[in-house]
Each structure stands twice: as structure tokens, then as C-alpha cells.
Amino acid sequence: MRLKTTFFICAYLIFFLLSGCSKPPTITKTSNSDLKPGNPPYQKKYNHTNKNFVKSLSKGTCTIKPLYEYKVLARVVAKKNYHSGWQGEVAPCDLALAWEKLAKPEYHNCVSFSQRNRWYYFRLKSGAPFDLDFVYKRSSNNHIIPHNENILRALKKIRKNDMVYIQGYLVRADGTWGNGTRWWNSSTSRDDRGDGSCEVIYATSIQIGKNIYK
């Protein structure tokens, strides 16, 4: 009996550690309705040139300059976490997002998404009722910079197929890492492709389902 009890305690501890023992995010407020696929991302030129954000890193710093106000309501079609290096500390999570018709449940099995090395990839499945251009214009890979610890914990809570509403800024990030300098510049168009086409989002609010985190 003691052996079996010890086994279950150890198994529980392993599960607890693997599932993440960090504090859950605090819900700032609750919406009256669930999120549903709707409009494409919204962006507006940001005119306050003196408002930058600064992050301290283990081997340097990062200054984050807002370029555009940005809002995106989308379905998470893939998620990838990063932990090391300048980019990993600045933006510890990438979300591949799909919006408008591509976010609707009936299209879930028409295209597959994956991520690696800060890129996202997709492949149309046989019989898909749209072409690659349709997917390019309604999806993107997004490097998410959390505004605070609560936003970071909310990012960890996000799962594939969640509907999310992210508000914040498209940004340029400049900084140092060891003896070198680093930079990261967001795309500001939904029509570009290839290197530099990912959005770098400084997230100040994230809604998952009905719960809003700030």
C-alpha cells in the first residue's frame, strides 16, 4: 500500500510540474459574450513618439517603440513557446492566428498549421474550398511581447483553437544582448509574405473566451 501511495504522489508531482506550477492569470474583467470570428485586424498609426516601453533582460535590455495601435480577433491555429536568447526573453510566445472566414469551425480541417524557428507554415488539405492566397490574407504568425506578468501568464493559458482578442501595438524593438545589439521590426501589412512578414505585438490586453486579462 505504501509503495502504491508513493507512486501516486510522485506521479502527481510530475504532472504538476509538467503542467506548469506558476500562478494563474488574474481575470481583469469578464465579457458578456463569447468571441466569434469577425472583422480583420485593425491598426491605426500611433502618433505619441515619446511613449516607449523598456524591458530588462538577463543579458541586456530592450526598448520597444509602438508604431501602430493594433487589435486582432482570431482563432489560435498554432502556438510555440520560446525561452532562450534575446528574442526568447523579449517575446516568449508565438501565436499563429486566423481570422474572418478562416477562423470558422467549418474550415478547421481544410488547412494544417505548424511553427518552428519563429516561422509558421501551412498546408492545404485535399478538397479545401480556397487557395493559398486566401490563407495568406487571413492568417499570420505573431511574436507576442507581454506588457506585464499577468499578460505573460494569460499567454501560457492559451491553447490551440482558442478564440482570442489581443489589443496592443505593432512595434519595433531595439536592444542589447551581451556585447552585441539586436533589433526586431514588426510587419505593418497583412499582405506581405516571407522574411519580415510576422507581426511583433506588444500585448496590453488579451481576451480568451469571455475572460479579459490586462
Q: Report DSSP letters for the chain, one per residue.
A: -HHHHHHHHHHHHHHHHHT--SPPPPP-EE-SS-----SPPEEEE---TT--EEEEETTEEEEEEEEEEEEEEEEEEEEEE--SHHHHHH--EEEEEE-GGGGSGGGTTTEEEEEETTEEEEEEPTT-SS-HHHHHTTEEEEEEEESSHHHHHHHHH--TT-EEEEEEEEEEEEEEETTEEEEEE----SS--STT-SEEEEEEEEEETTEEE-
The fold adopted by the segment(s) 25-213 is OB fold (Dihydrolipoamide Acetyltransferase, E2P) (2.40.50)
- pLDDT digit string (tens) for 184-201? 999 999 989 988 999 999
Q: Which residue has the higher pLDDT, 174 or 13?
A: 174
What pLDDT score does 9 carry? 46
What pLDDT score does 13 carry? 42
What pLDDT score does 8 carry? 46
Domain ranges of the chain: 25-213
Mean pLDDT of the chain: 90
- pLDDT digit string (tens) for 101-145? 999 999 988 999 999 999 999 999 999 999 999 999 999 999 999
Summarize the confidence of residues 70-87 as an average pLDDT. Answer: 97
pLDDT band at 48 (very low <50, low <70, confident <90, very high): confident
Q: Which residue has the higher pLDDT, 34 or 64?
A: 64
